[in-house]
Structure 1
C-alpha cells in the first residue's frame, strides 16, 4: 500500500469511527440523565385547579403547560395510605403483590402490630434513636429504580428523600444507594440506616451541621394577604387542631415559641417549611452525589410529607392547606430551575403524583348541609366480638380486627370442625348489618374472583395472600375513623383515590388527557422511556400517549 492510499485508508477509518461514536452518542442521548420522581403526600387532584389562579407560571403551571397531565388518574386499591401509596407508585403494582398493605398491619406470626419498614437487623445512622432501623426488607416487589440499577450494572444511582422514613425507603426500593429521612425532635438532622451505609456521607454531615434547619424555625405566616385566600374556609373555626401552646389554630404561628411544646424540630414537619427543607436537601443531593453526571440514568426520588401533616392537622378546606400549596408551588419552581442549571433543561424526566388524597372534615361538611359521620371503630370491634360469641360461644375465633380487616383464627375454626368459608360469610353478613358500612368481601370471594362492584375490587387489590385478614369492609362515603379535627384518608372514594399525575421533560409530549389512568402505570411508562424492562411484578400499563416521538415509534 503506497503512502497516499495509506492516508486515505486511515482517514476512512477515522470517519467510520466518528460515525459509530456519533451513533453511540445518539443512542445514549435517547435516555434522560436523571429521572426525578416527586410524590406530594395527601395531594388531591383538585388542588391543581382550586389554587391555580394563585400559582406562578414556573411551578405547577410549568409542568402543566410544558409537560403532560393525566386529569383522571386514580389509585386502584384500598387502603389509600402513605406506605401502600409509595410502594405502588414505585413498583407499578398493588398491595396484593408488593405486600405493603398499610403503614402498620397485624402480623399473625408475632401476634403484634408490624411497621411497614421496620427491620430489626438494622442500626440507625446519624441518629441515636432506636426507632430509626428502617429498610425495604418487607417490600416484596422491585421498584423501577431497582430495575434501572440492575439493568445498568449498578451504574445508575438511586437517592430517595422524604421527611417520613416509610416514604423514602419504599420509594427507593431494595437497591437504592441511599434513603434519607428527617429526624426532628431535639436532633433536626437528615439520617439513614445501616441497610444503606455505615456513616453519613460528607455532604449530608455538612448539610446537618449548617444553620439551614434552624433558620426554618421562624414564624409561619401567610405567603399572601390572608383575605385573598378565598378558596378556603375561615381561618378560625372548630374543626382544626392546631399546635399545642397556641389557643387557636390561626395565623401566624411562631415556631420558635411553639417548639418546646411541639417536640422541637418535629414541628417543622407540620409546616410548609418541611417541604422547603426537603427540596433544599434534594438540591444538596444533586451536587453531593453528582446525579445526572454518570454513565447511566440516575434516580432522585422526593416525597413531600408536610402537606400530609398539615392536611391531617388543619383539614382540606383550611387556609393553612392553601398556604402550603402556594408555598409548595414556589419551592417547586425554584427546584425546577436548579434541575435546569445542574442537569440541563430537556435532559431529565420528571413525574409528579400523590400517594393519596383526603376527605373533608365531617364538621365542615355538616355546616354545608352534607351528610358525614365518624365511625366508632372501638365500639365496632366490641360489637363484632359480641356477635361472634353469641353465634359460636367463643371470641377466640377472632384473632384481630384492624385496618378494616378481620383476621380469623384458622386453628380454632379447624378444631371446632367449622368450614372457613362459611364462617367468613356468616361474619361478613353481620358486618354488613352495621350502620355506616357500605360493603364487605371475604378472602374466599376474592380468591374465587367472584366480585362484582368497583369498591369490592379495590379491596381485593389491597389484599395480600399472606399478610392480610379474612374479611374486608369499606365504610360509606364521607364516614371516617379519625379525630374530630383535621382530615383523614384511606378510602376507595374519589376524594382519596383521584390524584394528580404530571410528566415533564425528556421523552415527554406536551398535552393532557381525560383518559383514565392509574398510579401503577407510572413504572411501565418510565421503563419505556428508559428502554429497560420494568419489574417483573408490575401490573400497570405504559401510558403511550405521554411518550414523545421517536420513542413511541420504536
Structure 2
C-alpha cells in the first residue's frame, strides 16, 4: 500500500538536516511513543498547537480506530472528543481566532471570514478578516495580509509579554490561520502564497523557508500518480453525481505543475508540517531557557472537504495520509530531545454533500435553493418600497446588513419585508435581529451543546462588525446551490456538525484519559497557560482551564 508521505519526501530532499532525517529513514512507520514515565510537573519547553481545518468530531470518530501514526500518539493523551467552536459563525477565521486567544468571536472581533464596512474609504466595502483595507488599491480578493482586525492577544503574545525571550512561530496553509493563531507579536509567520510560503512585506526569508520553497517547487514540478487505495478507502470509494461533477472516487493524481491540485491534496499538509519541523530545528525552539510556541495550520482537510465532501475515497486518503505526516512530524520533534506539549483541534467541522447524504439514510439533506439569494431579495424589496440601491448586503447562513444610506423609516420597512420573506422560506430556520442578539445574555461555562441558537449567535456577535440580521438555515441544508464549481460542500452553520471538534492534548509521560463532556476551544489557552505557570486574568478571556492530570493532582493549580 502506498500512501503519500510528503513530509518524509521533503525531508529527504534536504529541507532538514541529516539528524532529523535519521528516524524517518530508519523505518517506514513513525517512531512509537516512549514508555510511560512519571507525569510531568515542570513546564514544557515547547508548545505545539495544531489546527486541522474542517476536522469535525464526526470525522475524528469515524477514523480514530484506524489511525496508526500521529493521531494514534495523541489518542494516548487527554482526549476531549466533544470540543466546541461554540459560536454560530463556524468559519475558518473565527474558529482560528478562538484557539489560542481563549476568547469567543464577540471578543476577538473576528465574527466571520468577511464582513461589510460601508464606511470604508475604498469602493469595495467587503472586508476580509486578515487584511489591511487601508492599503491603497486593495480589495477583499487582492489584499495585504494584516493582524489589525484581531482585538485580543494570543497565548504567544502573552508569553512574549511575560518574557521577551520567548519565540513565537506560526505556519499555516492559509494566511488567516497563521495570523489568527500567531497574533500580533511573532518571530516567524509564514503561509502558503500560491507558489510558495510567504509572509508580511519586508520580512526576511530565513534559509529554512527558502529550502522549503525549493523542495515544494520541485515536488509540484513532478506529476503525482494516483494513490493506491487501502481496503478502508476502497469501501468508501463510490461515485456520486453532483450536478455535472462526479466525486467520491478520487485518488489525488496530479499533473506536473498543478498548484491548485497540490493545495487540495494530502501533499499540502505535508509541506506545512515539513516547514514547521524545519523552523523548530533551525531556530532550536524549545532549547532555550523559556518556553517557546509554534502554531501549525493544516488546511488540506478543508480543501478536500469543500472539493469532494467529507466522505468518499478522497477524505479517506486525506485522513490516513495526514495521520502519517503527523507521525513523521512528531518523530522529528522526538529527535530534537525537546520536552514538547501538543494540542490538536480544529477551527470548525463540516458536513458531507447532500447527494451522498441522500443515499446514506439522510434523505432530508438538501442544497440551498436559488430563492435565497440576498441580492435578489434586496432588489425585490427595493422595488416594492421604491428605494434605490442595494438595500441588503451579505448572505444567508450568516449576516445581512442594511444599506447604510437608508433612513430610519426605510430601515424599519426593509427589516419587516426582509424578515417576512426570509422567514417564509422553507430552508430558513429562523431570523434574528441585531436587537434580539444583543439582548441575549452571553453564555457562561455551560455545556455548549445545550446553548440556544440565540446564545450561539451572541457568542459570535461583534456590534462594530456584525450584521443587522442573522439567518441560520435549517439543519443539513448545504449553502452551496447548484450548479457547483470547485466547491461541492461547505460549513458555517449554527449546527453541531459544524461546531463540534476534537481537542487532543499529549505530552510524553502524561497518563491518558478521555473526557466525553462538552468543552470549548477557548479552554485551550488557559489550559496551556497553567502548564507554563503564566497567569491570565479570568476577566480577559472566556475559557476555563482543563485539568490534564488524570490522577488526584490538578494541572490547573500547580
Q: One fold, TM greater than 0.5?
A: yes
Which SS does the other structure have where 2:279 is aligned? helix
| Cα deviation digits, residues 469-521 of structure 1 (max 9, x gap) | 11111000111221546321111212111111001116955200112101111
Q: Which residue of 1 aligns with 2:467?
A: 469
Deviation at 1:286, TM superposition (A): 0.7
In structure 2, relative to structure 1, the CA distance for the partners of 1:309 and 1:75 (3 Å cut) is same
In structure 2, relative to structure 1, the CA distance for the partners of 1:29 and 1:438 (3 Å cut) is closer
Correspondent of 2:493 among 487, 491, 494: 491
Which SS does the other structure have where 2:242 is aligned? coil
Correspondent of 1:192 among 199, 203, 207: 199
Correspondent of 2:293 among 294, 299, 303: 299
The unaligned stretches of length 5 or more in structure 1 are 1-27, 124-129
Correspondent of 2:351 among 355, 359, 370: 359
For residues 241 and 269 of structure 1, what CA distance do their matches in structure 2 show?
A: 22
| Cα deviation digits, residues 260-283 of structure 1 (max 9, x gap) | xxxx32321101010111111111
Q: Which residue of 1 aligns with 2:507?
A: 505
Moved more, 503-512 or 484-493: 503-512
Q: Which residue of 2 aligns with 1:112?
A: 125
Deviation at 1:248, TM superposition (A): 7.6
For residues 44 and 185 of structure 2, what CA distance do their matches in structure 1 show?
A: 20
Q: Which residue of 1 aligns with 2:439?
A: 448
Q: Which residue of 2 aligns with 1:202?
A: 207
Deviation at 1:304, TM superposition (A): 0.5
For residues 222 and 441 of structure 1, what CA distance do their matches in structure 2 show?
A: 47
Which SS does the other structure have where 2:151 is aligned? coil
- Check whether the contact 1:32–1:506 (CA below 8 A) recurs between aligned residues: no
For residues 427 and 157 of structure 1, what CA distance do their matches in structure 2 show?
A: 50
Q: Which residue of 1 aligns with 2:377?
A: 384
| Cα deviation digits, residues 418-474 of structure 1 (max 9, x gap) | 785x86466434422222100121111122227997122212221111011111110
Which SS does the other structure have where 2:406 is aligned? helix
Q: Under a length normalisation based on structure 2, what TM-score does the superposition of the two structures give?
A: 0.81
Which SS does the other structure have where 1:544 is aligned? coil
- Check whether the contact 1:217–1:268 (CA below 8 A) recurs between aligned residues: no
- Check whether the contact 1:76–1:497 (CA below 8 A) recurs between aligned residues: yes
- Check whether the contact 1:51–1:231 (CA below 8 A) recurs between aligned residues: no
Correspondent of 1:100 among 100, 105, 110: 110
For residues 366 and 486 of structure 1, what CA distance do their matches in structure 2 show?
A: 15
- Check whether the contact 1:220–1:251 (CA below 8 A) recurs between aligned residues: no
For residues 433 and 249 of structure 1, what CA distance do their matches in structure 2 show?
A: 35
Q: Which residue of 1 aligns with 2:545?
A: 542
1:133 aligns with 2:144: yes
Deviation at 1:400, TM superposition (A): 1.5
For residues 247 and 54 of structure 2, what CA distance do their matches in structure 1 show?
A: 24
For residues 415 and 247 of structure 2, what CA distance do their matches in structure 1 show?
A: 47
Q: Which residue of 2 aligns with 1:174?
A: 184
Correspondent of 1:51 among 63, 76, 84: 63
- State which structure, 1 or 2, has the greater radius of gyration over its C-alpha atoms: 1
For residues 220 and 534 of structure 1, what CA distance do their matches in structure 2 show?
A: 50
Deviation at 1:181, TM superposition (A): 0.9
Q: Which residue of 2 aligns with 1:19?
A: none
Q: Which residue of 1 aligns with 2:457?
A: 459
In structure 2, relative to structure 1, the CA distance for the partners of 1:131 and 1:507 (3 Å cut) is farther
Q: Which residue of 2 aligns with 1:284?
A: 278
Q: Which residue of 2 aligns with 1:266?
A: 260
In structure 2, relative to structure 1, the CA distance for the partners of 1:294 and 1:377 (3 Å cut) is farther
After superposition, residues 122-271 of structure 1 pair within 5 angstroms as 131=142, 133-152=144-163, 154-184=164-194, 188-194=195-201, 198-210=203-215, 213-214=218-219, 217-225=222-230, 227-229=231-233, 232-234=236-238, 236-239=239-242, 250-257=249-256, 259=257, 264-271=258-265
The unaligned stretches of length 5 or more in structure 2 are 1-39, 443-449
Deviation at 1:317, TM superposition (A): 1.2
In structure 2, relative to structure 1, the CA distance for the partners of 1:72 and 1:487 (3 Å cut) is same
Q: Which residue of 2 aligns with 1:37?
A: 49
- Check whether the contact 1:122–1:134 (CA below 8 A) recurs between aligned residues: no
Deviation at 1:413, TM superposition (A): 2.6
| Cα deviation digits, residues 163-221 of structure 1 (max 9, x gap) | 1111111110011112101123xxx3211113xx5321222223323467526844253
For residues 133 and 465 of structure 2, what CA distance do their matches in structure 1 show?
A: 19
Moved more, 90-99 or 477-486: 477-486
Aligned CA RMSD, in angstroms, stands at 3.0
